[in-house]
């Protein structure tokens, strides 16, 4: 027998929560777990531009022939413009190569395989805390993982001194994984000055930076959110980027992401990218078309792009508004602690400061679901549930 001795794997801490929420019968239930955007009605909508593009695609599509290994070319080109900005020197000099991937997760896995097989890097530095899959993906390819301090529990802010102290130990040739914006799970991003410092440090020390960019447009805007990445591009000739369009295009289940490699020049980029294509060929051969074709159509059409940008701003605005209301309602419900830090965080997530025991109590007694680290999805808060949510939180504090 081959299978009878296999040990059961633990449930994924975040996806498992979704399953538990589905099975929850209490009608007052509130889901602040998995990171998906929700509108004021608590629904996860398909952006208007996506619907229009999909309808057009369906009408125009005349073949289901395979894509190339690296996917939809127009999509890859549009991805580079979102990342670097229009007319960037990297695009003009063809120093970057992009491959469409199966979501941000797929891009990270390609990055991990590429680093492991094609570079001398042995160690990857990952923020503590981080999205749990970061550790799992690099462990899966057999890399050594070191973590760097990120979050100061007392100030509810970036632990800048701890971060610098830990990353000072990162050696030349080490990979440093950075969250492009909207750090998951803390919602805390470096300031522009801190990004500049990190970029300089990276160039001086000779790290290979890997940017995970899963929430572009959710902090302050598409261009604003690329500040950190673009600061690094100024001084670091080589860099890797994982993009995800799951959140900003609402294309979660279409699995739309991209892996981008920036090299010193076009010749090196092409050579390195040929190895990336070999990796993809043995993983899944070539990607699916629909989601990427949808994104490409939107980004190439001025009207659709404008409408998408507008809707993204609406999503961002709603989250910011809910942060404010959440803090106000907690106060109104009698919370004596200061929760003002929640307003300053970026993106969907907030590290609320709730302990694992308090999170358990919220679930058991009030049918409110959050990640045990205290991470809550602010987009899960609506006008309908905010009062109940805040009253319940105050009861477990």
- Where along the sequence are the contacts to ligand PMP (CB under 6 A)? 35, 103-105, 131, 179, 184, 212, 214, 244, 246, 257
Distance of alpha carbon 273 from alpha carbon 240, whole angstroms: 11
Tell me the helix, strand and coil percentages in the chain, rounded to 5.
50, 15, 40
**Based on CB atoms, which residue is closest to ligand PMP, 329 or 377?**
377
Shortest distance in whole angstroms from residue 159 CB to ligand PMP: 18
Shortest distance in whole angstroms from residue 15 CB to ligand PMP: 10
**Contact, 69 vs 286, CB < 8 A?**
yes
Q: Which helix (H) or strand (E) holds 241?
A: strand 239-244
Residue in the block written with tokens 């998951």: 184
Shortest distance in whole angstroms from residue 312 CB to ligand PMP: 16
Shortest distance in whole angstroms from residue 289 CB to ligand PMP: 17
**Based on CB atoms, which residue is closest to ligand PMP, 214 or 354?**
214
- Cα–Cα nearest to 127, from 277, 351, 376, 290: 351
Active-site residue (options: 38, 97, 247, 361): 247
Q: What is the DSSP letter of 293?
A: H
Distance of alpha carbon 315 from alpha carbon 379, whole angstroms: 9
344 Cβ neighbours under 8 A, 6+ residues apart: 188
Active-site residue (options: 212, 225, 308, 361): 212
**Based on CB atoms, which residue is closest to ligand PMP, 40 or 136?**
136
**Is 247 among the catalytic positions?**
yes
Distance of alpha carbon 207 from alpha carbon 236, whole angstroms: 9
**Based on CB atoms, which residue is closest to ligand PMP, 182 or 367?**
182
Distance of alpha carbon 315 from alpha carbon 268, whole angstroms: 39
Active-site residue (options: 131, 195, 207, 308): 131
Which residue is at the shortest CB distance from ligand PMP?
Answer: 103
**Based on CB atoms, which residue is closest to ligand PMP, 110 or 390?**
110
Shortest distance in whole angstroms from residue 394 CB to ligand PMP: 29
Residues tagged active-site: 131, 212, 247
């Amino acid at each position: 027998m081959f299978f009878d001795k296999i040990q059961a794997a633990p449930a994924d801490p975040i996806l498992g929560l979704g399953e538990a929420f589905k099975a929850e019968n209490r009608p007052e239930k509130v889901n602040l777990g998995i990171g998906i955007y929700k509108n004021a009605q608590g629904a996860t909508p398909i952006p208007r531009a996506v619907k229009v593009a999909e309808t057009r695609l369906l009408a125009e599509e005349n073949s289901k022939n395979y894509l190339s290994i690296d996917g939809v070319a127009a999509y890859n080109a549009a991805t580079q413009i979102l990342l670097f900005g229009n007319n960037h020197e990297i695009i003009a000099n063809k120093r970057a190569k992009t491959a469409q991937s199966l979501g941000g997760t797929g891009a990270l896995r390609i990055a991990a395989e590429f680093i492991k097989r094609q570079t001398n890097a042995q160690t990857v530095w990952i923020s503590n805390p981080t999205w749990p899959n970061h550790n799992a993906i690099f462990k899966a390819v057999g890399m050594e993982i070191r973590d760097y301090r990120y979050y100061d529990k007392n100030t509810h802010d970036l632990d800048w001194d701890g971060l610098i102290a830990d990353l000072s130990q990162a050696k030349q040739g080490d990979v440093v994984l950075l969250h492009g914006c909207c750090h998951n799970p803390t919602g805390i991003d470096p300031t522009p000055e801190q990004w500049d410092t990190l970029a300089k440090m990276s160039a001086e020390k000779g790290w290979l930076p890997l940017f995970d960019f899963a929430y572009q447009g959710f902090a302050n805007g598409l261009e604003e959110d690329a500040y950190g990445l673009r600061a690094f591009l100024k001084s670091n000739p080589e860099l890797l980027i994982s993009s995800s369009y799951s959140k900003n295009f609402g294309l979660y289940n279409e699995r739309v992401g991209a892996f981008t490699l920036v090299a010193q020049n076009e010749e090196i980029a092409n050579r390195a990218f040929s190895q990336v294509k070999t990796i993809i060929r043995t993983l899944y051969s070539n990607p699916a078309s629909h989601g990427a074709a949808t994104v490409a159509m939107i980004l190439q059409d001025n009207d659709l792009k404008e409408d998408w940008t507008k809707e993204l701003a609406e999503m961002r605005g709603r989250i910011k508004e809910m942060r404010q209301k959440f803090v106000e309602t907690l106060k109104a419900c009698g919370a004596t602690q200061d929760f003002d830090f929640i307003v300053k965080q970026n993106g969907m997530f907030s590290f609320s400061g709730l302990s694992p025991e308090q999170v358990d109590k919220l679930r058991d007694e009030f049918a409110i679901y959050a990640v045990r680290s205290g991470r809550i999805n602010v987009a899960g808060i609506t006008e309908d549930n905010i009062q109940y949510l805040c009253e319940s939180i105050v009861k477990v504090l």
